[in-house]
Chain A
Amino acid sequence: QQQVKQSPQSLIVQKGGISIINCAYENTAFDYFPWYQQFPGKGPALLIAIRPDVSEKKEGRFTISFNKSAKQFSLHIMDSQPGDSATYFCAASSYNNNDMRFGAGTRLTVKP
């Protein structure tokens, strides 16, 4: 049973466009929601993370939007660049549990 559902599975965006990836979770005990970026041949690397006490967090071109009542969060990549082409994973964890639950991943391709 997947505790974090991610969509879409793949996404193609033109350079300069906005990439949007969505995730939904079930466990209301989750209180930490990170996004990881993975390039081919590499392990995932932490990109940006949010806690449920805020509705939005922005770091450069990357923004997380969080909707606690709907149990949903999303990653927005503004002005998408070919170098952003990678697989993105959303995840969720809770303070009392050290293990993290991951979404299935989204393969983003940004066309020049």
Chain B
Amino acid sequence: DVKVTQSSRYLVKRTGEKVFLECVQDMDHENMFWYRQDPGLGLRLIYFSYDVKMKEKGDIPEGYSVSREKKERFSLILESASTNQTSMYLCASMGHHNYGYTFGSGTRLTVV
């Protein structure tokens, strides 16, 4: 069964901390994505990557950065966590022009 694995289900971090969210896929997919999910706002795209070392900004990249050093791994970095970054973070992957996304189970991040 194909999988997208997010390293943590729940995280609690302090304001100002640097936070790393990790995502690994085992489907050899070219494309990987980071979304945040908030009630009433749906899924909003933060960053995506269509190849190793490539990245593109999504709709809400401010306060975030990403890293893709290997094809199977896509990391989301909060350089200095703030309370308004408290959210559910979802990672997804997709094969080249395959259209369908496979999502991970999500990381619920709370910044206090």
Contacts and interface: CB of A to CB of B under 8 A. Distances in A.
Q: Chain A binding site: helix, strand, loop or mixed by DSSP?
A: strand
Contacts of A46: 100-102
- Chain B: interface residue count, which band? 20 to 34
Interface string A72-112: 00000000000000000100010100111111110000000
B45 A99 contact: yes
Contacts of B45: 99-101
Contacts of B42: 2, 6, 89, 102-105
Interface in B54-112: 56, 58, 90, 92, 94, 97, 99-106
A102 B100 CA distance: 13
B58 A34 contact: no
Given A99-B48, A102-B42, A104-B40, A43 B90 contact: yes
Interface residues of A, number: 24
A60 interface: no
B12 interface: no
Nearest to B94: A98
Contacts of B50: 98
A32 interface: yes
A9 interface: yes
Nearest to B44: A102
A45 interface: yes
Contacts of B100: 34, 46, 49
B8 to A, nearest CB: 14
Contact of B103 (A45, A95, A99, A101): A45
Contacts of A95: 97
Interface in A27-71: 32, 34, 36, 41-46, 49
Interface of A: 2, 6, 9, 32, 34, 36, 41-46, 49, 89, 93, 95, 98-105
Interface of B: 4, 31, 33, 35, 40-45, 48, 50, 56, 58, 90, 92, 94, 97, 99-106
7 contacts: A32-B99, A44-B43, A89-B42, A99-B48, A100-B45, A102-B44, A104-B40
